[in-house]
Structure 1
Amino acid sequence: MTGFQGVIDDARECARLFRLGRDVEAGLAMIALVEAAQPLVELMQSDVQSSWNGLLGLMFNDQQAQNWLSLADYLEYEWVELLTAGQAV
C-alpha cells in the first residue's frame, strides 16, 4: 500500500473480500489497512481523528459479531468518506 489513494483502493478491495465471504483473508488485509491508514489520520484534524476512532470501534464490533456485510459497508463507504474528507481539510 502506498499513499492515500492506495489506502482507499485497499479498503475497497478488503470490503470486496468480506462480501465474498473470504473473512480470514479480509481480516488480515484489514489489519494491514489500519496500520497503513493510521499515520495518514494522525496528520488530520482532531475531529477527523475522533471520528476515525469511533469508526474503528464500530468496525471491530462488526468483526467480532462476524457481520461481514456491515463491515464491508463501513470499509467501502464510511472509511473512504472519512479519509477523503480529512484529506481535503
Structure 2
Amino acid sequence: MSGLEVVIEDARGCARLFRLGRDVEAGLAMVAVVEAAQPFVALMPGDVQSAWGGLLGLMFNDQQAQNWLSLADYLEFELVELLTAGQAV
C-alpha cells in the first residue's frame, strides 16, 4: 500500500470515529491525517492545493461547530476525492 493509500484509509477511519461519537479520539486522528496528507498535496497541481485550503477551512468550521457528521463526510468523501484526483494528475 502506498503512502497516499495509507492517508486515505486513515481519513476513512477518522470519519468512522466521528460517526461513532468518539470526537476526542477522532480529533487527534484528524490532526495526524492532515499532517500526513500535506506533503502529498504539496506535490499536486495548484488547483488541488487551492481546493485543499478550502476543504481545510470547511473542516475547521465543522470542528468548531462540533458538527461531527458533516466533518466525517468531508474526511471520508471530499478529502478522499481530492487526494485521488490530485494523484491522477
Give the shorter-chain TM-score range. over 0.9
What corresponds to 1:29 in structure 2? 29
Structure 2 counterparts to residues 1-89 of structure 1, below 5 A: 3-89=3-89
CA distance in 2, matches of 1:70, 1:4: 23
CA distance in 2, matches of 1:12, 1:48: 20
CA distance in 2, matches of 1:13, 1:84: 17
* TM-score for both structures, normalised by structure 2: 0.97
CA distance in 1, matches of 2:33, 2:79: 11
Give 4+ residue runs of structure 1 displaced > 4 Å after superposition: none
Deviation readout 1:31-81 (Å, 9 max, x if unpaired): 011000000000000000000000000000000000000000000000000
How many corresponding residue pairs? 88
CA distance in 1, matches of 2:81, 2:32: 19
CA distance in 2, matches of 1:32, 1:11: 9
CA distance in 1, matches of 2:44, 2:86: 6
Report the RMSD for the aligned CA atoms in angstroms. Answer: 0.7
Aligned-residue sequence identity (percent) comes to 82
List gaps (5 residues or longer) in structure 1.
none
CA distance in 2, matches of 1:82, 1:41: 9
